[in-house]
Amino acid sequence: MTGSPAYKRVLLKVSGEALMGEGTHGLDMAVLGRIAGEASAAAKAGTELAIVVGGGNIFRGVAGAANGMDRASADHMGMLATVMNAIALAAAIKEAGCPARALSAIPMEAVCGTYTRQRALDLLASGTVVVCAAGTGNPFFTTDTAAALRAAELNCDALLKGTQVDGIYEADPKTDPHAKRFDRLTYAEALKRDLKVMDTAAFALARDNAIPIIVFDIHKAGALGEVLAGTAMATVVSG
């Protein structure tokens, strides 16, 4: 990444599915290493970076509930899956040469730190990448909502949502090649169109705190650096 970053502090949302690459579950170590390398480069270039990681590559709470398990128990299992991913991602970022710390919304000090706003702010100010795990710490909230919440409480300049495609489309471009792509949307337009890139609570939190959401293709090598430089192919959702 060259030049000054467009944002001083950002929250990056990485889904569990992104970490499994072309596989059906688990971690793709090459993909994990690439994302970690880009996160490390961003932090070294001066961006304070927090990451919220999902757990869909290991366990998805909604799927568990649909199969008969009660939703709260399934969501708690999903939160534990995000802790596993956060520990792996923090370790990979350290391996890439940048300090990183996994912090869990559910206390489990034997394996990682407990998330508090002040602890996260102190780490960010020191140049450490903070990887937030366990969602909000409560069932019935998605990791997208957790990402918007952390972005708000950590005073982030933008929420970066890494997806499978290069922005927001009116329909899935993988099944509808003629789907319209949006360069910019307002929060109201995104909510009115019921676009599924993030849930309603996440959009509302970002809107109420005036945090732009930047949706980009996390599978493209170098995309994170391009987003931070303001040159990426992406969709921006703002006021």
Contact at 8 Å (CB) between 208 and 149?
A: no
Alpha carbon dihedral 198, 185, 117, 77, in 10-degree steps, equals 0
**65 vs 68: CA distance, rounded Å:** 5
pLDDT at position 59 is 81
- Can you give the pLDDT of all 239 residues of the chain as single tens digits? 455 667 899 999 999 999 998 888 899 999 999 999 999 999 999 999 999 999 999 986 666 666 788 889 989 999 999 999 999 999 999 999 999 999 999 999 999 999 999 999 999 999 999 999 999 999 999 999 999 999 999 999 999 999 989 999 998 888 898 999 999 999 999 989 888 889 999 999 999 999 999 999 999 999 999 999 999 999 999 98
Beta strands (DSSP E) in the chain are 9-14, 48-53, 100-104, 113-114, 129-133, 158-163, 168-169, 181-182, 184-186, 213-217, 234-238
> pTM (2 decimals)?
0.94
**57 vs 170: CA distance, rounded Å:** 26
Contact at 8 Å (CB) between 237 and 183?
A: no
Contact at 8 Å (CB) between 104 and 52?
A: no
pLDDT at position 105 is 98
**213 vs 184: CA distance, rounded Å:** 10
**210 vs 237: CA distance, rounded Å:** 10
Q: Which two tokens stand for residue 157?
A: 């300049």
The CATH number corresponding to 9-238 among 3.40.50.720, 3.40.50.10490, 3.40.1160.10, 3.30.70.20 equals 3.40.1160.10
pLDDT at position 66 is 67
Q: In what order do the strands lie in the sheet with 129-133?
A: 113-114, 100-104, 129-133, 48-53, 9-14, 158-163, 213-217, 234-238, 184-186
Strand partners, 182: 168
pLDDT at position 52 is 98
CA angle 130, 100, 88 (to 5 degrees): 95
Question: For the chain, what are the domain ranges?
Answer: 9-238
